[in-house]
Structure 1
Amino acid sequence: MHNWHVYLSGEIHTDWRETIISRTEELNLPVTFSAPVTDHEASDDCGAVILGDESSKFWYDHKGAKVNAIRTRTLIETADIVVVRFGDKYKQWNAAFDAGYASALGKSLIVIHDPSLTHPLKEVDAAALAVAQTSEQVVDILKYVISGKLVR
């Protein structure tokens, strides 16, 4: 049986990733998950800590973004499915970029967000193969596409 690689991108302020991973494990689905670095401080500081400090905030962030892109690009490129979650607390520009990158690569894209974000995310939703509102719906999609069976 094929082992599916699923990349979980998006907001880091709720437990949506853990919900998807634990439910998928409970169902014994053949899925391996990956994600960006979700430690916000480490993600922000990695470039300057590893490559040298910067006095300009632009270059500080630029270094970090590039170092993080090594992980993000590699994991999206090797994923079978990319799931991107948008929360309503912060604007996740990086998540929108991940969704666009995945779409440009022809990856199967699943987007999760509250209906209140439908208008601002209309272009992202148009690129997605599925737009879910909950982590449980994503698990149901994974269960269906992997097994080929619809449980009602």
Structure 2
Amino acid sequence: MIQLWSAIGVALLTVVIGPLLRGEVSGRLLKRISEHANLREKLAENSAALKDLDALLDLEVRRLRERERHRLTRKLNGANVAALIFVALAGGGIVYGLLSLGISLGPTGWAIAAYVGAALVAVFAVGLAAVGVGTLYEPPKEKK
């Protein structure tokens, strides 16, 4: 059973974390810009539509530029990374200990309590990690 959950966890992490590490977060915006640029070629006769489409493309490209500038200049927040590693290790260790305790107790009420405790700790640790992932990078400093 643990092997099944481990495989599911690794698969989910690959699907969620993989695109973040490869920098594919702004893929939708790039696709929209590409589609709008292709649409611009098809609307060559309609000057009013071209003007609106050019304004939309200008806005989208500006937004992409700001997003990429932020992504390329951001810095990791070491304290938050350390806290995430600590939460993952502590949560995993506690869950492992509670599951081992539940297995060693056999089919008793205390074993069920250990399993419920392990589930609660796991949900809490995953929740903390999910919230912490959003604060991995230091917020941009305002220019004076």
Bigger share in strand: 1
TM-score by length of 1: 0.27
**Structure (1 or 2) with the larger CA radius of gyration:** 2
Higher share in helix: 2
